[in-house]
Amino acid sequence: MPLVVGVGQGENFLASDAIALSTVTDKIAYLDNGDVVGLQLHRYRVINSLGQRVERPVTPVAAHAGGIDLAGC
């Protein structure tokens, strides 16, 4: 499963899914399989599996961590 980049103000994040980032940002760029990402505070760069720099669209998400119950895990 591909990772996601969380885009914040002056900060960026990498996580396994959008819900994991719901407490820090609501702007997510979904990566494709084979993508490699370089993260910095104010930017990120995505390189695809062919070694080409690509832009992944940033989309708003409405995931909320408050609705997750992990008590049974």
pLDDT of residue 64: 57
Number of alpha carbons in the 13 Å side-chain half-sphere of residue 70: 4
Residues 6+ apart with CB under 8 A from 64: 19, 22
pLDDT of residue 73: 46
Give the span between the Cα atoms of 55 and 57, in whole angstroms. 6
Q: What is the pTM of this model?
A: 0.78
Strands (E), the chain: 4-7, 12-15, 27-30, 36-39, 44-47, 53-54, 58-60
Q: Where are the domains of the chain?
A: 4-63
pLDDT means over runs of 10, the chain (73 residues): 89 93 93 95 95 96 58 49
- Under a CB-based contact definition with an 8 Å cutoff, are residues 53 and 47 in contact? yes
